[in-house]
Structure 1
Amino acid sequence: MIELLGGGIYLLKGRFILKEADKKGKDEIANRLKQEGLTPLTGDIVEVEKAKKGTISYQILSSHNQSGDWQNLKLRFDALGSHDLTYVGIVQTAALGGIGEFPVPFVMTNCHNTLCAIGGTVAEDDHAFGFTAAQKYGGTFIPPNQAVIHQYMREMLTGCGKMILTVDSHTRYGALGTMGVGEGSPEIVKQMLNKTYDIAYPEVIAIYLEGEPKPGVGPHDVALAIIKAVYDNNFVTNKIMEFVGPGVHKLSVDFRNGIDVMTTETTCLSSIWCTDDTVKEYFAIHGRPDAYACLEPAEVSYYDGLVKVNLSKIDPMIALPFHPSNVWPIDELNRNASEILRQVEVEGQKQLDNANLPFRLTDKLANGRLKVEQGIVAGCCGGMFENITAMADILAGKSIGSGYFSLNVYPASQPIYLELIRHKAVERLMTAGAAFKPAFCGPCFGFGDIPAHGSLSIRHVTRNFKHREGSIPTNGQLASSALMDARSIAATALNGGMLTPATELEVEYTRAGYRFDPHVYDNRVYQGFGNPVPGTELKTGPNISSWPPIPPLAENLVLKIAAVLKDPVTTTDELIPSGEASTYRSNPQKLAEFTLGRKDPAYVGRSKAVKQLEEKRLGGLAKADAGQLFEQIVDAIGLPEHFAGNLPTTALGSLIAAVKPGDGSAREQAASSQKMLGGQANVAHEYATKRYRSNLINWGLLPFTVDPETFRQLLVDDLIHIPGIRQAVAEGSGKVRAFIIRGSTVSAIELKLESLSREERDIILAGCLINYYRGNC
């Protein structure tokens, strides 16, 4: 089904796969080149550096690079996007940098915080702010429920050869020939202020598709199979996935988009696909024929690895809690349900932070088969036209029954919804018992259709992390979700919630043609790009709060370890929860109260206690009796007495130690909330994603790494003394000597501070990106 080929791989005319090995392998490549009528690049051996430039990825990256050095990229993007959890902070920060108008199209969608059910007026206050920002700076404002962010970008902003940066981790438009990158808000601000996105040239992995999916197999099945194959071994982590091979041309654009959006769950940096007449037709349907260009690898192209996918052999899949990589073929799960579910229970229980709260799935077995309580198809991943029409084909003239099982469908945009009505798909699904709801990302991030305690929901969405569906284990609430394709969700609905792969059914799929109606957006979306109205006053509500003053990095640091997270991976959902916390994204201090709330509820109190001591220290610096105050602080935090004299140049703060933090969302609040609580650093074995590490840096948090043995020494309430940290950062040091202080015991450790650019070091020295802009713009 899926085969991984490591090491150098050559693709010849997009068809032949040859592994770079010894001289014999290179001779084989040279012979194959001759057979194909291709001229070897250097004598009889292919030159790797030239062949690397034969990828689609190189073509796009090089055309957006401002550095003149293709191995060290400084990228400028063609368009930017954000949604109602992030655009307030983006605009506020850009305004501090002196922005006059948005330099490229900036789209503000309202698809996350649209329930307006928590916190009174705060959600709609954010929307009012966004609309006035679009007027003032010349942006595009998408009113609530018109479209989820990625569907609007696909429909209206993509173009072959373009690059788009969006504040959402699922920024993936590769199937439309557009390289999408999901990052935190500070990277968007950099683009607005005509800065660049700086990154070393990434490795490129070919995803070689062959064969054709079976009827009943959908894009989620293919995506989950790929995720299972590459996640645990980091095969594509922080790399670009380039989709090639004859199987690409067997897939519709919706099918390609459905696979593509899930590449985020592999932890890759971005994705890109070769394009063809199918993509050309998509742009024509959407009234943008000029957006199409043929993208394909050169006659000889080189990849750093290859994932070979036989589409014909992929079966319906399910990703069980608590990760999209916990994937099983549905048929296998049905054959061995008791054994597999007990295994998942054991592994899942280890991940829960409330040991007294049992995690159960085996209690959902009925006659040896898993029975679920809810089905959801939603968002940029599930809510596409073809997914929903396939569901209508399965359920037409039938019923999901009047039991507890429910089926809810969220089309990804109003144009899709309208076309589903015209094709009577809505009628067929509603009469079968499904409920239709407007475009909304809530079911994907725990803010809509929250299942009941003890329930299991099957969802065609992007993630099924623990807590993601809205449960709060620390309050004794635990529900969970599994990922499935819309087709098998419909088949399961038809069977009253009994897990059923769509391939078990005899269905005639209609493959209805799609017509895009531009009037939906023409008559409702505010299009302000290129026409700013500078005199517009930004409308703010009582919950919209600006960032408090943040001091620059001190000469020395003493940091209290406020949390130690020993899970193999810590997601951004665990660092700052989704769901109800999202309401307060425009109020940094209030949002910070939720930090690690579902993982380590004591973290906030520990961090705030240190922050209060730091505020006392700063308040006493200019006072005559500062010495006495410093002695009190030394005693309060538990430092040896000799530190009192050093406190004028030694800041106090907190840090989080985690094995591998940052998997999942691009939300920079996972970092900024730590900063609001006095955080100064993270210590990790490694960082799960580039975007989380970038967020730490942009908020002035030192992204330390340590070896596993050092990590094992770290305990909550330990103090880490880092003398001369400011000098070390300024001088470009990659290693920093520090000391663990535990009562009267002091032991030396080494903290690594590697792969920081000069600008990133300057941002840390300034205290955060906002300070950096204040001093440089």
Structure 2
Amino acid sequence: MIELISNAVVIDGNTIRSAEEARAKGVDLEAARKNSLSARILAAHNTAPEGEDVLRVRFDALASHDITYVGIIQTARASGLTEFPVPYALTNCHNSLCAVGGTINEDDHLFGLAAAQKYGGIFVPPHLAVIHQYVREMMTKCGGMILGSDSHTRYGALGVMAIGEGGPELVKQILGKTYDVANPQKIAVWLEGAPRPGVGPQDVALALIAAVFKNGFVKNKVLEFMGPGVEGLSVEYRCGIDVMTTETTCLSSIWTTDGKVRQYLEKHGRADDYAELRLEGPACYDGLIRINLDKIVPMIALPFHPSNAYPVAEVAKHASELLAQVEDEARKQFGDAAKGLNLCGKIRDGGLWVDQGIIAGCAGGSFENITLAAAILDGKSTGNLAFSLSVYPASEPQGLALVNNGSTAKLMAAGAVLKNAFCGPCFGAGDTPAHGALSIRHTTRNFPNREGSKPANGQLSAVALMDARSIAATAANGGRLTPATDLDWSAPGLADVNLDYRFEPLIYHRRVYNGFGNPKPEVPLVFGPNIADWPAMSALPDHLLLQVVSVITDPVTTTDELIPSGETSSLRSNPLKLAEYTLSRKDPGYVERAKAVDLMEKARLANAADPELVARARALFALCGLDILQGAADLKNVGLGSTIFAVKPGDGSAREQAASCQKVLGGWANLAVEYATKRYRSNLINWGMLPFIGDADLAETLQVGDWLAVPDVRKAVKDAAPTILAYVVRESGKAEQIALTLKDLTDDERQIILDGCLINFYNSTRKQ
């Protein structure tokens, strides 16, 4: 079904050769590496001098939604923002349920509209479109690059290399700076064959994620989709696969383009934005993924990760065994709170019964997915028991097309509930399932509690990911898990589904504010009571004493665990209030422990000669055999802060708050064996936090309450020291020397850490 080739390959037309075979035939491999689609696009956007190892990329457009754009604009304002230099879409698809948080959410929307007017941005009102659908429909241009503050920023199927990053990376673009990244490896994804009826894009995506996530095959690399199988896929089908590539941990993606992409752009009034992207001569890749679409079957990703994927038929057949494994994992993660999650109890009458179905967002809410779901449910009923089905078209233009082709009527008659464009079901702000429920969703993620449950309050539910086709087939059976391939696709209504889509531009023309190129600096920003400035942050001191305030030994820690998604969304514009929720699902005691250390730092800043603090710091350094404070009467050169340890933190969302909340609470560093994604590590750096990497045995030895002494840390960062010697001081008083590294920091990244955060960095640059 999926074959992974880890050695370099050269693709020339429909011929795939090993690098050795290609070289023997006279292919210049270095020249061939420059022929890949991504290499050509990156080269066109790279501003670095020739020969420099680090790419310095300028993007063509930016996009954010309403739980990220306030913080981005506030950071940019504090750093000298005057005008948006490229088209910047501010969409409102996350905090659009304005009943949550009182007036907080709509206050953010008014701020966003005023910012679009003041700085020349694009404002997409609530419920009009989810962020990625709007960008697909209105902003993509073949051969371009787009940066978004949402991890699922992926428009490769439309010929655009897109990257999801934390807000500070957008701030850099807004201020005319660059996105700095080591030249990524490229992996070819060779598609062949054609999906069988009933197999959708989510099925292909889940099979791909299962094949490459755990082994890190594509981590921080670029995926290039090509091969004879591409032409048989519709553009929306391609987009459905492409948007899920984020879950492979790749950096970005790009597809070859063809007449179908040209027709898509023509339908959206943007024929001039089309360009054919294809290989021109032999292209060399660092590996290859071969996907036989004929062999893909309906898939389901069981809780609690998109990579935990199996064929739907296999889960239906072996439900008791596979669900028992999920329950075991829940007990490991949530302890007593997992007692109410009796997934094996959903096996009855010879089948597995689910409680809820959701088709929504940038992955599931497409015209094509929903039209096919409506065809499957036409004349059927979702039943009048516990099972429910909610459907969210990804944009109002798509919603109107579904009304016009009769799909909305079919779904409503079957018992489905049609809702507006909204990302809520994907991150825990809408359709949170009942305690103990199992929800099947065509959305992007099924991380623990991402659907909105709160195990600390005794409420726990679970989400499995499926394609819209199989969700509809399950709904037609009243909630009994059913792969869509079990249906008769030669029957009337399925064999002749009309997938012709007509885009209505007036919906956007009448409601979207497009001020790009026409800033109005006289327009005042509108500040609601929950919109707060970032607190002042200190420069990196000469030495650090950091208390370990959380130790997480899970194999992977998601950003949803670092800062919860759904219930905190209305606080994203208030750094201090939001920080109160840091690690609340994974380690509820973290905040108070971090605050206790931060009180010491605040006391140091108020009085560096505080005798109690000086004595405590001197004693800690002495245990390490260091005489740093022996002749000093104060702590002017010693910072006191906190750090967390996690084996592999940062999988998932691009949200900068996963790092900034730690910083607000006095965090100076993370300790990790490795970082799950580049974007989380970048967020740490941009908030002035040290992204330390240490040995794996730290997971065995490090304990909450230990102190980490890092002498001469400022000098080490400034001099780009390959290794930083630090000391772990146990509560017993024993000290152990350890080696830490800060891998691959650019000059600017080192300076950001030295200055204390990106805001300080830009302010110091402006004063020079």
TM-score, length basis structure 2: 0.96
Alignment check: 8 A CA contact 2:166 2:656 kept = yes
Counterpart of 2:756 in structure 1 is 767
**One-letter amino acid matched to 1:768:** C
Residue 4 of structure 2 corresponds to 4
Q: Which residue does 2:591 correspond to in 1?
A: 604
Q: What RMSD, in angstroms, separates the aligned Cα atoms of the two structures?
A: 1.7
How far residue 368 of structure 1 moved from its aligned partner, in angstroms, is 3.5
**Separation (CA, whole Å) in 1 of partners of 2:700 and 2:28:** 45
How do 1:296-695 residues align onto structure 2 when only pairs under 5 Å count? 296-352=278-334, 354=336, 357=339, 359-507=341-489, 508-509=494-495, 510-621=497-608, 626-627=610-611, 630-631=614-615, 645=632, 647-695=635-683
Where does residue 59 of structure 1 map in the other structure? Answer: 40
For residues 104-119 of structure 1, the aligned pairs below 5 Å read 104-119=86-101
Deviating beyond 6 angstroms after TM superposition, the runs of 4 or more aligned structure 1 residues are 632-642
The whole-number CA distance in structure 1 between the counterparts of 2:416 and 2:622 is 60
Once the two structures are TM-superposed, the CA of residue 349 in structure 1 deviates from its matched residue by 2.6
Determine helix, strand or coil for the equivalent of 1:11: strand
In the alignment, the residues of structure 2 paired with residue 254 and residue 349 of structure 1 have an alpha-carbon distance, to the nearest angstrom, of 38
Alpha-carbon deviation of 1:149? 0.2
Code of the aligned partner of 2:538: P
**Aligned partners of 1:330, 1:167: CA distance in 2, in Å?**
33
Once the two structures are superposed, what CA deviation does each residue of 1:284-328 show, in whole Å capped at 9, x if it has no partner? 000000010000112201110000000011110000000000000
Distance, in Å, in 2 between the alignment partners of 1:681 and 1:90 is 22
CA apart distance, 1:117: 2.4
| Cα separation, 2, equivalents of 1:543 and 1:638 | 45
Corresponding letter in the other structure for 2:595: K
SS at 1:647 equivalent: coil
Distance 1:441 1:638, change over 3 A: farther
Q: Which SS does the other structure have where 1:523 is aligned?
A: helix
Q: Distance in 2 between matches of 1:708 and 1:636?
A: 24
Q: Distance in 2 between matches of 1:757 and 1:673?
A: 24
Q: Deviations over 1:688-730 (max 9, x none)?
A: 0000000000000000001112443211110000010001111
The structural deviation recorded for 1:639 is 8.1
Q: In structure 2, what is the Cα distance between the partners aligned to 1:722 and 1:374?
A: 51
Aligned-partner SS, 2:697? helix
Alpha-carbon distance between aligned partners in 2 of 1:526 and 1:720, rounded to the nearest angstrom: 51
SS in structure 2 at match of 1:401: coil
Q: Contact 1:364/1:370 (CA < 8 Å) preserved in 2?
A: yes
Tell me the secondary structure at the aligned position of residue 568 of structure 1.
coil
Per-residue CA deviation, residues 508-531 of structure 1 (Å, 9 max, x unaligned), is 241320011100000000010011
Q: 1:355 to 1:409 in 2, by over 3 A?
A: closer
Are the structure 2 counterparts of residues 51 and 354 from structure 1 closer, same or farther at C-alpha, using a change threshold of 3 Å? farther
Tell me the amino acid that sits aligned with residue 401 of structure 2: E
Question: How has the CA–CA distance of structure 1 residues 355 and 401 changed in structure 2, closer, same or farther, with 3 Å as cutoff?
Answer: closer
Partner of residue 251, structure 2? 269
User: Cα offset for 1:593?
Assistant: 0.4
1:386-417 Cα shifts (integer Å, max 9, x gaps)? 00000111011111111110000000000000
Question: How far off its partner does 1:20 sit?
Answer: 2.5
Deviation at residue 650 of structure 1 after TM alignment:
0.8
Distance 1:356 1:414 in 2: 39
Listed one character per residue, the Cα deviations across residues 56-103 of structure 1 (whole Å, up to 9, x for unaligned) are 111110000101337421000000010100111111111122221100
| Gap change, CA 1:618 and 1:354, over 3 Å in 2 | farther
1:753 aligns to what?
Answer: 742
Call closer, same or farther: CA 1:638–1:662 in 2, change over 3 Å.
farther
Give the superposition deviation at 1:636.
Answer: 11
Range with bigger deviation, 307-316 or 746-755: 746-755
Aligned residues: 755
Aligned counterparts of 2:377 and 2:46: Cα–Cα separation in 1: 49
For structure 1, the 5+ residue unaligned runs are: 31-44
For normalisation by structure 1, the TM-score amounts to 0.95
How far does the alpha carbon of each residue in 1:156-185 deviate from its partner, in whole angstroms, 9 at most, with x for none? 000100000000000000000000100000
**Residue 256 of structure 1: SS of its match in structure 2?**
helix
Give 1:20's aligned residue. Answer: 19
Give 1:353 shift.
5.3
1:730 equivalent among 718, 741, 746: 718
Determine if the alignment matches structure 1 residue 132 to structure 2 residue 131: no
Partner of 1:205: 187
2:643 is paired with a residue whose SS is strand
Contact 2:688 2:752 in 1 (8 A): yes
Deviates further, 708-717 or 668-677: 708-717
Decide whether the 8 Å contact of 1:353 with 1:474 is kept in 2.
no
Identify the range of structure 1 (49-58 vs 711-720) with the bigger mean alpha-carbon deviation. Answer: 711-720
2-side partners of 1:284 and 1:318: how far apart?
35
Q: CA deviation at 1:344?
A: 2.6
Instruction: Specify the SS of the correspondent of 2:601.
Output: helix
Aligned residue number for residue 702 of structure 1 = 690
Shift of 1:119: 2.3
Letter in 1 for 2:611: G
User: What pairs up with 1:231-242 in 2 under 5 angstroms?
Assistant: 231-242=213-224
| 2:28 is equivalent to residue 47 of structure 1 | yes
Aligned AA for 2:5?
L
CA spacing shift, 1:262–1:393, aligned 2, 3 Å: same
Judge which range, 91-100 or 287-296, deviates more: 91-100
1:170-213 per-position Cα deviation (integer Å, ceiling 9, x unaligned) = 00000000001000000000001110001111000000000000
Structure 2: runs of 5 or more not aligned: none
Displacement of 1:629: 5.4
Identical columns (%): 57
Secondary structure at 2:592 match in 1: helix
Distance 1:638 1:390, change over 3 A: farther
* CA apart distance, 1:566: 0.3
Deviation at 1:633, TM superposition (A): 7.3
Mapping 1:60-209, distance limit 5 Å = 60-69=41-50, 71-209=53-191
Q: State whether residues 114 and 523 of structure 2, in contact with CA within 8 Å, keep that contact through their aligned partners in structure 1.
A: yes
Indicate the SS of the match to 2:196: coil
Q: CA deviation at 1:360?
A: 2.7
Structure 1 pair 567–529 and aligned structure 2 pair: CA distance change class (3 A): same
Please give the alpha-carbon distance, in whole angstroms, between the structure 2 residues aligned to 1:100 and 1:750. 43
Partners of 2:721 and 2:614 lie apart in 1 by 30
Q: State the shift of 1:111 in Å.
A: 0.3
Q: Secondary structure at the match of 2:6?
A: strand
Opposite residue 57 of structure 1, the aligned amino acid is: S
AA of the residue aligned to 1:605: E
Provide the rounded CA distance (Å) in 1 between the counterparts of 2:404 and 2:620: 69
Q: Does the 8 Å contact 1:730/1:762 carry over to 2?
A: yes
CA contact 1:561–1:657 (8 Å) conserved in 2: yes
Query: Deviation digits for residues 639-668 of structure 1, max 9, x if unmatched?
Result: 899858462311100001000000000000
SS in 2 for 1:229: helix
Distance 2:516 2:751 in 1: 32
**Conservation of the 8 A alpha-carbon contact between 2:91 and 2:130:** yes
Cα pair 2:621 2:709 within 8 Å, conserved: no
Q: Distance in 2 between matches of 1:68 and 1:357?
A: 59
Deviations 1:3-55 (A, max 9, x none): 11111111111x1111234xxx347x62xxxxxxxxxxxxxx32211111111
The residue number in structure 2 matching 1:40 is: none
